[in-house]
Amino acid sequence: MSRLTLSRAVSLAVLTSAKTEADHHEDLGCSILGPPSRPVRKALSWLSQRIHELGGDEAQRNAVALVRALEDTPKYAALCEGTKRRKGRRVLREQILFPRAEKTPPRVLHVRRDELAFDVPVTRPRDWPALNALFSTLAQGATTTELAQLGKANATVREVITQLKAARWLDRWTAPNTKREVVFVGHNTTLIRGRETSVLIDPYFRPASVFDLPNYQPMQPRDLGHVNAVAITHSHGDHFHLGSLLQLPPETRFFVPPVERENLFSTDCAARLRQLGFAHVEPLDWWSSRAIGDCTVQALPFFGEQPSAAEGVHPGLRNVGSTWKVTTEASYAFFADAGRDALGDMKTVCQRARGVDVLFCGVRGFKLQPLFFGSTTLGAFLVDVPESELTKPQQLMADGPQALDYAKRLGAKTLVPCADGGAPWYWREGMGPRYPGYPGQPVLGASRLDENPDADPFPERIQRRAGDPKLAILRPGQDLSGTAHKPFQWPFSAGGAAGLKPIAPADPSADLIEA
C-alpha cells in the first residue's frame, strides 16, 4: 500500500497570532525573534536606522551618545523602569525582561510552500497533540486509512488534511536509509543512531525551494526513520523550532536546558513542548545523564553566546543553554554556539568531559561590537550590554582554532564544523557562507555576503597543525565518512577552498540590514 508524506517544500510554524505579516515571522519559542521580544526589537529599530545613516566608523565614535539617545526615544523609554540606570544603561521593566509565557500561547499553525500559505486557528489545547499525531504520522509515511482516521477524530486535523490534499502538498513516501550511525542533517541538526535507539540534536528542518536541484534537497523528518529522543541546545529559532518538532512522534523524549523563568533571552522549552502535547520532557541539569536504550545523553554546561563577555546589566537575564554528549558505541559532543562568557569557559568543560570521539562544534566566532547587534538576529541582546562594552570587540562563540583546541582537550579524534548553515536552505535565510553556483537570493534583511569571516566563515579556512584532530567537513545528508545518499548529493564547489587565503576582518557596518 502506498504511503503519503509532507512535501519537502512545505514548512510548519507555530505562532501566537497571524493577524499581521509581522506575526508570521515570529515563531513561538524563538527567544530572540519571537513575540515576547517584539517591543524591544521595535524600540531598537531607531538605532539601526541611525547607524545605517551615519556609517560604521562614525557610529563607533559616537556610540555612547547614540545609545543614550536611543534610551530617550519614546518607544525605548516606555520599556524602562523610570530613569534608573545600571552599568551606564537604563534598566528595563520586569515585565519586559521576564514576559509572562501564558500571554503568548500557541494559537495558530502556519503552513507554507514558497509564496503560498494557509493558517489554521488552534483554539483548543487538545488540538495540538492531534496535529502532532498527523505530522509525525506523515513523517513515517501515512496510509490513506490512517489519514482518514486522524481526520475523523479531530476537526482541525480534518481541515488541515483537506487543505494539504487540495494544494497537492503531499508526496509519495519512500523508506529512509536507517543503517548509518551518524547523519548530518545540516546547521546543528545531527542524528546519532545506536543499535536500538536514535538521538536527534537541535531539529531544525527547512523547506526546499524551486531553486534547489533535484539531487540536492533538504532533509526532513521523513528521511531519518524513528527518533527516540531529542536534545535541545538553547532556545534560538535555529536550535529550538516548534514547527520542526511538531513532526516528531508524540512519545519522543526531550532533554532541554533548565530555564527557571522564561525571559527575554531564554524560552522555557519544557513548557512550550508540553503546550504542544509532548509528555516526556525533562529539563536536565548540567552533568546529569539519562539512558535511552543503548544511548546515553549527558547535559554539559553552555558558556558563550551572551551579549558580552562582561557581566550583564540585568541580573538573571541570560541565554540559558546546554551542550551535549551522546554515547553509543562511540561518543559525540555538541558545542553549538558555545565559547566563553562571564560565568565560564568551554575549556574547563572539556577537561571534565574527556573521552569524546567526535566533536561537533560551531566555528563562527561571531566577532562583533555590541553596538552593531541590530544588524543581526541578536538585536535584543543590546539591552543587556554595559555602556563600557558597547564598542569593545566581542567574540560570542568559538572560532576554528578554538574548536580545534576543544577537540584536543576532549581527546576527540575528529572535529566536525557545524552550526553555521551549510546549504542553500540556510543561505536563503542569511545563515552561513554561500558557495558559488546557487542562483537563489537571501530573504530581505538577510546577509548578502557570500562570506563574512567574522561571523560566517568557510569551514575550509580552519588550519590544522601537527597533532590536531582530523577535520571532517560534512554536507547535509552525509555521514562521518562523507558518504551521502540520493537526493543529497552536494553539487557545489568548495568556494575555492583549496586556495583560501587569510582575509582582513570585515567592516562591522558593511552588512547592515537594508533600511
At 231-289, the pLDDT tens digits run 999 999 999 999 999 999 999 999 999 999 999 999 999 999 999 999 999 999 999 99
Instruction: Report the half-sphere exposure of 39 (CA within 13 A, side-chain side).
Output: 16
> Which range has the worst mean pLDDT, 150-154, 405-409, 491-495?
491-495
Asked if the model's pLDDT at residue 503 lies above 50, the reply is: no
Residues 223, 168, single domain; the answer is no
Three-class SS string for 171-191? EECCCCCCCCCEEEEECCEEE
Residues 475, 340, single domain; the answer is yes
Residue 502 lies in a domain: no
Helix/strand/coil percentages in the chain, nearest 5: 30, 20, 50
Residue 79 lies in a domain: no
Q: For residue 487, say if its preceding peptide bond is cis, omega within 30 degrees of 0.
A: yes
Q: Which helix (H) or strand (E) holds 43?
A: helix 38-54
Listed residues 151, 172, 193: the one ending a domain = 172
Residues 152, 227, single domain; the answer is no
What is the rounded average pLDDT of the residues 471-497?
84
In the chain, how many domains are there?
Answer: 2
Residues 195, 159, single domain; the answer is no
Residues 285, 385, single domain; the answer is yes
Could you write out the DSSP letters of every residue in 227-280?
--EEE--BSSTTT--HHHHTTS-TT-EEEE---SS-BTTB--HHHHHHHTT---
What's the pLDDT at 138?
98
Q: Could you give the C-alpha distances from 170 to 151, 160, 161, 224, 303, in angstroms and in order? A: 15, 12, 9, 18, 42
First to last CA, the chain: 53
> What span, in angstroms and rounded, lies between the C-alpha atoms of 161 and 155?
10
Tell me the β-bridge partners of 110. 13, 119
What's the pLDDT at 23?
94
What's the pLDDT at 500?
54
Residues 125, 187, single domain; the answer is no
Judged by DSSP in three states, 165 sits in helix
Residues 284, 146, single domain; the answer is no
Listed residues 172, 202, 218: the one ending a domain = 172
Residue 45 lies in a domain: no
Residue 73 lies in a domain: no
Question: Can you say whether residue 438 is alpha, beta or left, with left for phi > 0 and alpha for psi between -120 and 50 degrees?
Answer: beta
Range of the domain at 273: 182-489
Average pLDDT, the chain: 93
Are the beta carbons of 238 and 276 closer than 8 angstroms? no
pLDDT digits (tens, 9 = 90+) for 360-372: 999 999 999 999 9
Residues 287, 347, single domain; the answer is yes
Residue 511 lies in a domain: no
pLDDT digits (tens, 9 = 90+) for 258-270: 999 999 999 999 9
Strand order in the sheet with 116-121: 10-15, 108-113, 116-121
What's the pLDDT at 140?
97
Residues 155, 193, single domain; the answer is no
Residues 167, 211, single domain; the answer is no
Residue 58 lies in a domain: no
What is the rounded average pLDDT of the residues 58-65?
97
Are the beta carbons of 331 and 359 closer than 8 angstroms? no
Nearest alpha-carbon partner for 324 in 356, 366, 280: 356
Residue 368, all three cell numbers: 562583533
> What span, in angstroms and rounded, lies between the C-alpha atoms of 99 and 264?
7
pLDDT digits (tens, 9 = 90+) for 388-403: 999 999 999 999 999 9
Residue 394 lies in a domain: yes
What is the rounded average pLDDT of the residues 181-203?
97
Contacts of 434 (CB under 8 A, 6+ apart): 427, 450, 451
What's the pLDDT at 506?
41
Residue 101, all three cell numbers: 509565557
What is the rounded average pLDDT of the residues 403-415?
97
What's the pLDDT at 511?
38
Residues 359, 419, single domain; the answer is yes
What's the pLDDT at 152?
98
Tell me the β-bridge partners of 326. 297, 332
Listed residues 172, 198, 225: the one ending a domain = 172
Q: Which helix (H) or strand (E) holds 108?
A: strand 108-113
pTM of the model: 0.94
**Angle, helix 127-139 to helix 144-153, in steps of 10 degrees:** 180
pLDDT band at 494 (very low <50, low <70, confident <90, very high): low
> What span, in angstroms and rounded, lies between the C-alpha atoms of 130 and 121?
13
What is the rounded average pLDDT of the residues 75-103?
96
Residues in the chain, total: 515
Residues 267, 400, single domain; the answer is yes
Q: Domain holding 374: CATH number?
A: 3.60.15.10
Residue 137 lies in a domain: yes
